[in-house]
Amino acid sequence: MSKTRVLDHPLVDCHLTNLRKKQTPPAAFRHSIAELSKILAYFASADFPIAQTTIETPLENMQGSVISGRVGLIPIMRAGISMVQPVLGLIPEAEVWHLGLYRDEQTALPVHYYSKLPASAPVDVALILDPMLATGGSATLACQQMQDWGVSKVKLLSIIAAPEGIQKVNAEFPDVEIHACVVDQKLNENNFIVPGLGDAGDRIFNTLH
């Protein structure tokens, strides 16, 4: 059974429109990436376990809530880095562990070049951050690394997803939740999402030259 959650909200649609426009400048592009990342994280964290804690208000003591367990943010470099700070704004106690993956343009296969995961002590919940879920190659490789690390719950947060990428993740890692702002039509012959928004990393970091 698919664990794909797609957002349906007018604010999401407006930010997606801003991202898709080729005329949108990098600063405005990054802003919409950040806002959509917050919204994705808000919904993806809805089932986080909480623990009760006693706090003191200016008037009296009361019972409050804190997240129970360790949350790890796993940005796939380089585009996933843009999603880290917005999500940390919602989950400031989260840990950040980077993965370096890129797609070989000749083979369309993921290439792993960097990992900052410890050898032991996995987080309880991992949020893999990558703005685009295209072929699913990088996403499944990241999921495999989470599995090898021993993470019990993994969620993939992508702003735009292609059906092909969702299918690959669902087939290889059926327990991984996919949270996306939208599912686009398809991949083109160059494995870019259509209509998509182009190369997210280049537009985020202003390297389209």
CA–CA gap between residue 97 and residue 99 (Å, rounded): 7
pLDDT one-digit tens code per residue, 184-203: 999 999 899 999 999 999 99
User: What tokens appear for 118 in the block?
Assistant: 């410890």
pLDDT of residue 23: 95
Q: Measured at the alpha carbon of residue 197, what is the angle toward residues 71 and 193, in degrees to the nearest 5?
A: 85
pLDDT of residue 1: 45
Q: Is the pLDDT of residue 106 over 80?
A: no
pLDDT one-digit tens code per residue, 10-43: 999 999 999 999 999 999 999 999 999 999 999 9
Q: How confident is the model at residue 2 (pLDDT cuts 50, 70, 90)?
A: low
CA–CA gap between residue 24 and residue 199 (Å, rounded): 13
CA–CA gap between residue 183 and residue 169 (Å, rounded): 14
Domains by residue range for the chain, with CATH: 4-46+70-205 (3.40.50.2020)
Tokens 């290889």 belong to residue:
172
Q: Which distant-in-sequence residues (6+ apart) come within 8 Å of 48 by Cβ?
A: 67, 68, 69, 71, 125
Full-model pTM: 0.92
